[in-house]
Amino acid sequence: MTDLIFAIAVGGAFGFALDRVGATNPGYIIRMLNLSDLHLMRTILMGIGIASILLFATLLAGAIDPAHLSVKETHIGVLLDGVLLGAGFAVAGYCPGTGLGAAATGRWDAVTFVIGGLIGAGAYMLAYPLVAAAGLADGLSGGKATLGTIDGTKYPAAFPWPPGEIVGLCLGIVMVVVAFALPGSIRFRRKRTVPVE
């Protein structure tokens, strides 16, 4: 029962936050990817950075159970996945989470995105034996690796040093700094602008 209350709290806050940062608006996602408005890029970097700093600080303080971490496997499918997802992400301006969120805000193009997504996920369910046989589904490069060793977890480290907690804190700080340093836009050209509203 507690886990359902947590699900409602975390999910509700996540959906609210996605909408408030503009991520349910495909315009912001497309304009991040065509480099004309880096607002969401900076928001995402800021978000990951802050979450990473909090996570590794509380891990060092022993205030969080390391068993809560869940690291996904690294294999060749991950890069392919990123490429496929990135292409669809650019065309639609939606990813799975923001597509569902956008559909809930009343965007009709997000509804077709979700329907396409359900069929795509269903196609994968059917194709899974073939994908697994082709060696794309599981561990080509071995394991659920983190960059450094995190105490209390069994994840193999990609690099023996420095400790994973220090890596996490430093990368978190770097991401926050990059979020501040990035310009608002890389290629905003006034004359090609079409006014809206």
Partner 1 sequence: MILNYRRGGLLLGLVFFMAVFLMKPIGISTQFVILDGILWDLVAPDTVVPDAAGGGHASPNAYLDRSGGKYAAAVANPLNYGFVLVLAMMAGAFVSARLRGGVASEERAMPAVWRANFGDSVPLRHAATFVAGFVVLFGARLAGGCTSGHMMSGMMQTALSGYIFAAGVFLAGIPVALLLFPKEVRP
Q: Does 70 bind partner 1 (CB under 8 A)?
A: yes
From the list 79, 87, 84, 90, the residue with the least C-alpha distance to 33 is: 90
Q: Does 105 bind partner 1 (CB under 8 A)?
A: yes
60, 61, 62, 98: which one binds partner 1 (CB under 8 A)? 98
Q: Does 173 bind partner 1 (CB under 8 A)?
A: no
Cβ within 8 Å of residue 121, ≥6 positions away: none
CA distance 140 to 22: 37
Of 38-57, binders to partner 1 (CB under 8 A) are 39, 42-52, 54-55
Q: Does 188 bind partner 1 (CB under 8 A)?
A: yes
CA distance 125 to 153: 30
Q: Does 60 bind partner 1 (CB under 8 A)?
A: no
Count of chain residues binding partner 1 (CB under 8 A) = 131
Of 8-37, binders to partner 1 (CB under 8 A) are 8-22, 24-28, 30-31, 33-37
Largest Cα separation within the chain, whole Å, is: 56
Query: What is the sign of the dihedral through the CA atoms of 8, 68, 167 and 143?
Result: negative
CB of 130 to partner 1, least distance (A): 10
The amino acid occupying position 197 is E
Q: Does 174 bind partner 1 (CB under 8 A)?
A: no
